[in-house]
């Protein structure tokens, strides 16, 4: 009922998944920074998530963890799962009782699996999309590219309903207060992967970090323009950094603030406002 990819780029770990199932993001994905990522599906055994992460923390490889989980599961013939560990070792499992088409592939740093699919072409397309994506691209984008490829290839043969993306990296969360860089879910939608793409675009605007090479100094004509636009919006503190921070905080762009400078993304949003 699901197709997924678990993967790492060495600094982040994540899962992307889609299914004809309500709220697939509540059931399939799990990940911990510096530990690994897990997808559990096809009559998903949700205990695979905490139990698997605990085994990975204890030093078991992806394959050892998957072997331990399935060997202890009386319903393993109905299960499907994929794991990638802290070192990029990957494993996938498809029980003999999974509904066809069902199967998976692994490679260095990724595992891809699916069941009740239109055919093997779904997993093949996902693998090709992963392998052809730039290695230096954000993991969120590489995972989503693979998921989109699977969806375009036909995906779940029953149809579409939900999709999710989970990516963790050390101190990657809002304000650095957690490791959860992205946790996006589309629980019920006619085009969930397309909607997930829209959400990731918004996520990158609000929570992406500014590129130091593109920052614009808040002086001269730019400072005058920014001051005028902020004043028109009711933010007229004589301290320009503070006025900008007041507006950015209301609009949720605070992650992109740099004292004495302005991110072009924020400048564009201010001009639009």
pLDDT tens digit sequence for 126-175: 999 999 999 999 999 999 999 999 999 999 999 999 999 999 999 999 99
Burial class (CB in 10 A: 0-12, 13-18, 19+), 69: buried
- Per-residue pLDDT, averaged over 82-93, amounts to 98
Burial of 12 (0-12, 13-18, 19+ CB in 10 A): buried
Q: Which residue has the tokens 């992806």?
A: 62
Backbone angles phi, psi at 31, to 5 degrees: -160, 150
The tokens for 241 are 């950094």
Q: What is the pLDDT of residue 191?
A: 97
Strand partners, 110: 7, 107
Output the six-digit token pair for 140: 């969120």
Q: Say yes or no to pLDDT of 106 above 70.
A: yes
Region 24-47: what's the mean pLDDT? 98
So what's the pLDDT on residue 160?
A: 97
**Predicted pLDDT of residue 36:** 98
Q: Residue 65: which of 39, 98, 100 has the closest Cα?
A: 39
DSSP string covering 28-44, please?
SEEEETTTEEEEEESS-
| pLDDT score of 190 | 97
**Given the DSSP bridges, would you call strands 216-217 and 261-262 parallel, antiparallel or unpaired?**
antiparallel
Q: How far is residue 227's CA from residue 244's CA, in Å, rounded to a whole number?
A: 8
- 82 and 91 in contact (C-beta within 8 Å)? yes
If pLDDT is split at 50, 70 and 90, which confidence band does 1 have? low
> 111-121, pLDDT tens digit by residue?
999 999 999 99
CATH architecture assignment, domain 2-207:
4-Layer Sandwich (3.60)
The full set of domain ranges for the chain reads 2-207, 212-272
Over range 15-28, report the average pLDDT.
97
Q: What is the pLDDT of residues 230-243, one digit of tens each?
A: 999 999 999 999 99
Mean pLDDT of 88-116: 98
DSSP class of residue 45?
Answer: -
């Amino acid at each position: 009922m699901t197709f997924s990819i678990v993967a790492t780029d060495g600094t982040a770990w994540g899962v992307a998944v889609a299914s004809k199932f309500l709220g697939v993001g509540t059931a399939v994905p799990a990940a911990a920074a510096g530990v690994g990522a897990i997808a559990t599906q096809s009559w998903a055994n949700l205990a695979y998530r905490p139990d698997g992460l605990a085994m990975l923390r204890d030093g078991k490889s992806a394959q050892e963890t998957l072997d331990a989980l399935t060997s202890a599961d009386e319903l393993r013939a109905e299960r499907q799962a994929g794991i990638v560990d802290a070192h990029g070792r990957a494993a996938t499992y498809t029980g003999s009782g999974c509904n066809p088409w069902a199967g998976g592939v692994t490679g260095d740093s990724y595992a891809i699996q699916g069941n009740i699919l239109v055919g093997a072409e779904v997993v093949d397309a996902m693998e090709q999309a992963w392998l052809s994506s730039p290695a230096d691209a954000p993991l969120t984008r590489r995972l989503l590219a693979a998921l989109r490829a699977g969806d375009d290839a036909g995906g779940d043969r029953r149809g579409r309903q939900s999709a999710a993306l989970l990516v963790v990296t050390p101190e990657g969360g809002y304000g650095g207060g957690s490791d959860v860089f992205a946790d996006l879910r589309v629980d019920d939608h006619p085009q969930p992967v397309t909607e997930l793409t829209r959400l990731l675009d918004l996520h990158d605007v609000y929570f992406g970090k500014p590129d130091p090479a593109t920052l614009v100094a808040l002086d001269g004509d730019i400072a005058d323009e920014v001051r005028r636009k902020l004043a028109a919006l009711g933010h007229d503190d004589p301290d320009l950094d503070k006025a900008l921070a007041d507006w950015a905080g209301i609009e949720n762009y605070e992650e992109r603030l740099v004292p004495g400078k302005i991110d072009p993304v924020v400048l564009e949003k201010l001009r639009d406002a």
